[in-house]
Chain A
Amino acid sequence: QKEVEQNSGPLSVPEGAIASLNCTYSDRVSQSFFWYRQYSGKSPELIMSIYSNGDKEDGRFTAQLNKASQYVSLLIRDSQPSDSATYLCAVNAGNTPLVFGKGTRLSVIA
């Protein structure tokens, strides 16, 4: 059973701070890693993907991947109240559908 683990939170950060969201996965053959954002009552939307070890930056978002430790993280710089949402980590091994974690609820306090 492939598992993706996330701290459910809530993670509370002040406006302007860095939010750090973490995810671990059990399947060592996993190849692709995704972060989805889900606002309350809405469907998930893709915000970042990462495939290689290291960092990948996109605006205020940075995804970090360490395959040896089976760990992927998402950093949100200069957090805004509009970033308040649940962040879902998703993993796939290349030929199977995505496996999602339970999500981390982020609350950015103005």
Chain B
Amino acid sequence: NAGVTQTPKFRILKIGQSMTLQCTQDMNHNYMYWYRQDPGMGLKLIYYSVGAGITDKGEVPNGYNVSRSTTEDFPLRLELAAPSQTSVYFCASSYSVFDRNSPLHFGNGTRLTVT
């Protein structure tokens, strides 16, 4: 059981370039999330999705876009990369936010540097 799979693991972008961070889960979870983590900081929610075709903004959505065409996939798109987007990005999934026994399952993260 692969769980949550993120690709790539590392990426260096030049300012103004674009890229898509891929996230796939095989647990049939309804909820998927993108968090970013800056050095010495906690996780900040970028976007989340409660099911295919439904997405919503989190705390720090500016500069990002998402789509959820299938239950399994939740890609994060960076348009016009900026140095402020240098961070570690974690994708996560859960069965529900209403179920207390439904913890977050995290991917291994993507370390992105924008120079």
Interface residues of A (CB under 8 A from B): 4, 6, 8, 31-32, 34, 42-46, 49, 51, 88, 92, 94-103
B interface majority secondary structure:
loop
- Cα separation A6 to B28 with both chains bound (whole Å): 33
- Determine how close the nearest CB of chain A comes to the CB of B46; give it in whole angstroms: 10
Residues of chain A lying within 8 A (CB to CB) of residue B100? 31-32, 49, 51
Q: Identify which of B41, B90, B97, B109 contacts A96 (C-beta below 8 A).
A: B97
CB distance A8 to B106 under 8 Å?
A: no
B33 within 8 A of A: yes
CB distance A94 to B97 under 8 Å?
A: yes
- Cα separation A102 to B98 with both chains bound (whole Å): 24
Interface flags, B35-64, vs A, CB<8A=1, else 0? 100001111110010000000001000000
B67 within 8 A of A: no
CB distance B98 to A94 under 8 Å?
A: yes
- Cα separation A47 to B109 with both chains bound (whole Å): 19
Residues of chain B lying within 8 A (CB to CB) of residue A88? 42-43
- Determine how close the nearest CB of chain A comes to the CB of B111; give it in whole angstroms: 9
B103 within 8 A of A: yes
- Cα separation A42 to B9 with both chains bound (whole Å): 11
7 contacts between A and B (CB under 8 A): A44-B106, A46-B103, A51-B100, A88-B43, A92-B97, A98-B97, A100-B44
Given contacts A43-B107, A92-B97, A97-B48, 17 further A-B contacts (CB under 8 A): A4-B42, A31-B100, A43-B90, A43-B106, A44-B90, A44-B104, A49-B100, A49-B101, A94-B97, A96-B97, A97-B31, A97-B58, A97-B97, A98-B97, A100-B44, A102-B40, A102-B41
Question: Given A49-B100, A92-B97, is A100 in contact with B43 using a C-beta cutoff of 8 Å?
Answer: yes
- Cα separation A109 to B90 with both chains bound (whole Å): 30
- Determine how close the nearest CB of chain A comes to the CB of B19; give it in whole angstroms: 20
Nearest first, the 7 A-B pairs at minimum CB distance are A43-B106, A100-B42, A102-B42, A100-B43, A46-B103, A32-B100, A97-B48
